[in-house]
Amino acid sequence: MVRKFHTGEQARGGGFQSAAVLTGFLALTLGVGIFAGLVTEPNVQTWYPTLIKPSFNPPNWLFAPVWTTLYILIAIAGWRVWRVTDFNSRALLFWILQLALNFAWSFIFFGAHKIGLALIEVAVLWLMVLLTTIAIFRIDRPAGFLFVPYLVWVSFAALLNLSIWRLNTG
């Protein structure tokens, strides 16, 4: 079944190729989460508790289900864009860049314990997620809406990072 998108472009139908590509998008995004978690988890038990955190800091148990959900939404959005553009689009280039920045943040904040550098990195990540969201909306509105919770969460993460930095420096 082929459906029309708001840009007038047509999507690839179902089938094995589409399912395989969706599986690839899911594996990539969830893989980013798993590998970032390998750096994050030990530090959540040791280093992170030593930091002064703001009153709005969520409980540690909340992060894994939120990020898992977001990674799934990110994957589906990327797959939906692929269905329209193949792999030749600015939106998917932005999608890859934001995912790389997402991956890097855990290593900077939790792995290197560089809260200030992580704050700069999360600002760049936020901008890339915003640009990706806009680019995706231009191709496929439902995929754009799938990115909105991610943009909101990265906004919150940036505020949290800023607050932790302010509370733990000088």
The CATH number of whichever domain residue 164 belongs to comes to 1.20.1260.100
Going by pLDDT thresholds of 50, 70 and 90, the confidence category of residue 2 is: very low
Helix axes 60-85, 90-106, angle to 10 degrees: 160
- Per the structure, how many domains does the chain have? 1
pTM of the model: 0.90
| Confidence at residue 6, expressed as pLDDT on a 0 to 100 scale | 47
How crowded is the C-beta side of 42, counted as CA atoms within 13 Å? 7
Q: Is residue 83 part of a domain?
A: yes
Q: Using an 8 Å Cβ cutoff, are 111 and 34 in contact?
A: no
pLDDT greater at residue 5 or residue 25? 25
DSSP β-bridge partners for residue 10: 4
Q: Is residue 1 part of a domain?
A: no
The average pLDDT across 38-54 equals: 96
Tokens in use for 60? Answer: 């540690």
Q: Is residue 6 part of a domain?
A: no
Q: Give the pLDDT confidence of 85-98 residue by residue, as tens digits.
A: 978 899 999 999 99
Can you say how many angstroms the Cα of residue 17 is from the centroid of all Cα atoms in its chain? 24
Residue range of the domain that includes 22? 16-168
Q: Determine the length of the chain.
A: 170
Mean pLDDT score of the chain: 92
Query: One-letter amino acid identity for 115?
Result: I
Q: Give the pLDDT confidence of 113-144 residue by residue, as tens digits.
A: 999 999 999 999 999 999 999 999 999 999 99
Q: Is residue 104 part of a domain?
A: yes
The CA distances from residue 33 to 64, 102, 142, 153, in Å, are: 9, 9, 23, 15
